[in-house]
Structure 1
Amino acid sequence: MFIFSKPVTLRFGTADDAIWPPALSWYYNYKPLPEPKYKDIPQSEFEFVPMLWGAPETKGDTSFVTTIKDLIKSGVNITNVLGFNEPDAPYSWGGSYLDPITAAQVWVDNIKPLSDMGIRVGLPACTGGQDGLPWLRTFVRECSALVSTGNKKENCTFDFVTIHWYGSFEGLASHMGQYAAEFPNKTMWITEYNFAHQSLEDTQAFYKTSAEYFDRLDFVERYSLFGAFRSDVSNVGPNAAMLSNDGRLTDIGAWYLGKESTGIKPTDGQSVSVAVRHTMSIVSASLIGAAAISWGLF
């Protein structure tokens, strides 16, 4: 059984919408506003973390910071905000495809005011590819130049680093080590991770090893598995699914909720049509007891 010592969440497809569970403590949906089904749940029970996914269409647009301030005025206690989603990747890969110079200006316009209010902000989440760190170095340099005035040099500040990874555990540990060296004394949120398109044995081994690793590291604050409810809608491979075809918890689904192994494989049971599956959503959601946040299937 896996009992997590750190806040965990799930982000996966819309077909198996779930009711809010006590097993999870936070979520994000790549958007500035919470999901309607969870908007009335206190932040102290199930925290929503807004995200500025990419750059607005209009230069100088500050609608993101306005939206977050309005949320706070309405009584939603926003304490953390996530930055750009994979700005070093093209739209076709799910990235926000944003150059670091433009990103720096958008950050100063929309994220810095929130940081000045005391809200914790996460560094943009680049891919695990070789372009990620160079992108971030340029971004931090350009952002620091924007917030500096005259001879007074300022640093573009952030509170935690966000990590995305879709390879082996050894690669994940190395990637995290590179970020720790690049940004010392910063905590980490692992906001997307999995060992994509692997055998069931390797997928499960990666899950267990990485979860135990995260829980041992003091600088890892939170982690969020990138998975799917069903094998036929998983873009990280069928073996990463948390429910079987007939809606039962797989081993990974059970482990993520701190439960015992079920011995159920993602492909077990008869697959149902999308139309039928939608009507079964509450049943499936009640079974898994997990928050299904829409992340879209690219």
Structure 2
Amino acid sequence: MTRSLLFPSLVLWFCLSTIPSRTLAESKPDTTHVSPFFDEHQLEGASIHGHEVHDKRKRGGRNSLLKRCDASKHSHGSKTPASAQYSNSVFPAESKKWGLAWPNGDALYTWSPYLPFTASEHGMEGIPMLWGWSQVDDFSRVVIKGYATKVLGMNEPNEPTQSFMSPQDGISLWKQYIDPLKTQGYYLISPACTNDQTGLDWMQSFVEGCTDCTIDAIAFHFYGTDPRAFVEHATTLHETYNKPIWVTEFADQNFSGSGGQASMPDIYAFQSSVIEFVENTPWIEAAFPFGVMHDMQGVDEWNALLTEDEWPTSLAYNYFG
């Protein structure tokens, strides 16, 4: 599989000024013509970490972001966010394995079937997702032959606040809407469960029950503070299913309910370990750090890849260089 997924520079990606903006009236879904661009109508009803996707708007808008990008083109490093000056020990990622999960558009995936309509013009590959049952109408209408080359399965189907469904329902959804895309040239990436026992159990039941299904790669989400657990979970999934691995969300985040969150030095150390593992593991095909947004949906703010002033954070620079 060709790993032509990512942007050569996060700052360059932020500065794509040729992507036109649309008013809400212009972006209203058209039932007679499929337009492959992202807008807030198209994500209505989807949820990430228990919150509606349309709540995850970046403040300031594209115009203010482009002004900052334009200023950075004429600066000599003075516009680098202050936080980026705190760590020189984490090396920038070298390979094209690093992706962005961002519901504000212009991302590799947006937790929906919809893709940025100018992504391909800038060397970016958008990947549609069938988030869950709530998106089947949009998904079946939009994701057709030639629309994309890869597709992501359901978002955390083992979690009650996400696309929550039984493995049997997941199999039905997969067989009806995703599996047929294989004959249309799509690379099929599994539902992404969380990195706990419920996630492992759900995936096992799903794969074992979907005996006549095509699953090209296994996806998962990781939230934890120990990079060794990240490695162990990815390795377990790879060895269990003998398939490539996609990490479609991850952050140095403690959701256990006990103990504190990681310090910034801890997060840099976590990031360094994860980058080294992903870069040097052939069966890891893509990894998507969380998150490029202001509302981090319960994930500790130190993991943010975008500052309040809409500059890439030092973590973002380390991932995307």
> Normalising by structure 2, what TM-score?
0.64
Q: Secondary structure at the match of 1:46?
A: coil
Count residues in correspondence: 223
Residues 236-275 of structure 1 mapped to structure 2, 5 A cutoff: 236-258=299-321
Indicate if the aligned counterparts of 2:98 and 2:320 stay in contact, CA closer than 8 A: no
Counterpart of 1:41 in structure 2 is 119
SS at match of 1:47: coil
Q: Which residue of structure 2 aligns with residue 281 of structure 1?
A: none
CA distance in 2 between partners of 1:52 and 1:254 (Å): 30
Q: Percent identity?
A: 29
Counterpart of 2:27 in structure 1 is none
Which of 102, 109, 117 aligns to 1:28? It is 109
5+ long unaligned stretches in structure 1: 21-25, 145-154, 259-298
Once residues 207 and 228 of structure 1 are traced to their aligned partners in structure 2, the CA distance between those partners, rounded to angstroms, is 16
Q: CA deviation at 1:123?
A: 1.1
User: Which residue of the partner structure matches residue 237 of structure 2?
Assistant: 179
Does residue 158 of structure 2 align to residue 98 of structure 1?
no
Question: Residue 67 of structure 1 aligns with which residue?
Answer: 142
Structure 2 residue runs of 5 or longer lacking an equivalent are 1-90, 254-260
Q: CA deviation at 1:243?
A: 3.7
Q: What aligned pairs does 1:75-224 form with structure 2 within 5 A after superposition?
A: 76=147, 78-91=148-161, 95-144=162-211, 155-167=212-224, 168-184=226-242, 186-196=243-253, 197-224=261-288
Paired with 2:300 and 2:292, the residues of 1 have a C-alpha distance of: 9
CA shift in 2, pair 1:220/1:233, >3 Å: closer
1:251 Cα deviation from its structure 2 partner: 1.9
Report what 2:101 is aligned to.
11
Distance 1:244 1:108, change over 3 A: closer
* CA distance in 2: counterparts of 1:247 and 1:108, whole angstroms: 41
Task: Name the structure 2 match of 1:286.
Answer: none
| C-alpha deviation, 1:143, in angstroms | 2.3
CA contact (8 A) 1:228 1:240 kept: no
Residues 83 and 248 of structure 1: CA distance in aligned 2, closer, same or farther (over 3 Å): closer
Deviations along 1:150-183, one digit per CA (max 9) or x if unpaired, are xxxxx32211111210112011111112101211
Task: Give, as a single letter, the amino acid of the residue that structure 2 aligns with 1:49.
Answer: I
After the TM superposition, which of the residue ranges 43-52 and 102-111 deviates more from structure 2? 43-52
Instruction: Give the TM-score taking structure 1 as reference length.
Output: 0.68
Greater displacement, 111-120 / 78-87: 111-120
RMSD: 2.3
Of structures 1 and 2, the one scoring higher in RCO (CA 8 A, sep 6+) is 1
| Alpha-carbon spacing, 1:42–1:227, altered in 2? closer, same or farther (3 Å) | closer
- Amino acid of the structure 2 residue aligned with 1:4: E
* Counterparts in 2 of 1:90 and 1:33: CA distance versus 1, 3 Å: same
Q: Deviations over 1:11-70 (max 9, x none)?
A: 3464xx7xx6xxxxx600011111xxx30332781111000011248xxx665334211x
Quick one: which amino acid aligns to residue 11 of structure 1?
A
Q: Do 2:156 and 2:194's aligned partners in 1 also have CA atoms closer than 8 Å? A: yes
Secondary structure at 1:137 match in 2: helix
**Distance in 2 between the 1:27 and 1:250 partners?**
19
Equivalent residue letter for 1:206: F
